[in-house]
Amino acid sequence: MILAEVVGRLAAASPDLGQLLADIGLVAGGGYDPEGFDQLILDASAAISAALNASPASLASALRALGGFGGAGAEISWALDAATIAVDLNSRELALDVTHVAADLVPLGLTLFASASSASISGSIGAIEPDVGGLELVASAATGGVSPALTIAWQTPGSLSATSINLLSSLSASEQATLVKLGASFIPSTLLAGLVDHLRETASDDARVAIEVIMDGLDLLAPPSELPSRRVLRDSGG
């Protein structure tokens, strides 16, 4: 009787909580359901699975209201620092996306997907930006007979599209030559960009202005943005 009164008061105090309790079988016909409670105690997995099968959108709506989550329909989503997490109660799918971009660090990314029948994961280092170009390394793997991949992609400033090569596949002679050219151009330019950035950080104000005037005249500075300083472009030699 005490449990029935507690459940009744909780349901009356919050319509969203009342809907959640009804969805998992603790409330029926506006009052406490002892049979639903027994099922939840004896086999919680089966009880929750039955609730997901019967009313996934209702469960998601109640959880969004109670927890302040985002999403629509049967989906619940929320952001945690650099991560975005989404759970679809109808399809039983989980998606995780992490993107970390900082002015003084190499961009990092992680994407994870999991369901009852499949799973996949990919991670990236670096980024390719429109009109600026860049270098990105992406590793990916998935179930279902999909071969893992380790792809390097790059784009020079002003190029219309990026070039990419899967390093885990059998490379043709032209792809090998392209990689040699990439290493011969990007590695020195990356070292030069690092040296210039170091000089800009340690130089006096007048010297820093002079360095940036020279770099800007050579079209080696990225366009102005919200960042405190303009990033040095890495010329890959075309």
Q: Could you tell me which residues are beta bridge partners of residue 76?
A: 87
* 166 has a pLDDT exceeding 50: yes
Q: Please indicate whether residue 36 or residue 73 has the higher confidence score (pLDDT).
A: 73
> What is the spatial distance between Cα 152 and Cα 100, in angstroms, rounded to a whole number?
19
Least confident of 84-98, 105-119, 180-194: 180-194
Least Cα distance to 178 among 164, 193, 159 occurs for 164
Comparing 13 with 76, which gets the higher pLDDT?
76
Q: Where residue 236 falls among pLDDT bands split at 50, 70, 90?
A: very low
Kindly give the residue spans of alpha helices, DSSP state H, lying in 43-119. Answer: 44-54, 56-67
The arithmetic mean of pLDDT across residues 29-46, rounded, is: 79
Write down the pLDDT at residue 93: 94
Whole-model pTM? 0.64
Cβ–Cβ < 8 Å for 27, 13: no
Interval 185-225: pLDDT, tens: 666 666 666 666 666 677 777 777 776 676 666 655 655 54
Decide if pLDDT at 230 tops 60: no
Residue 234: pLDDT over 60: no
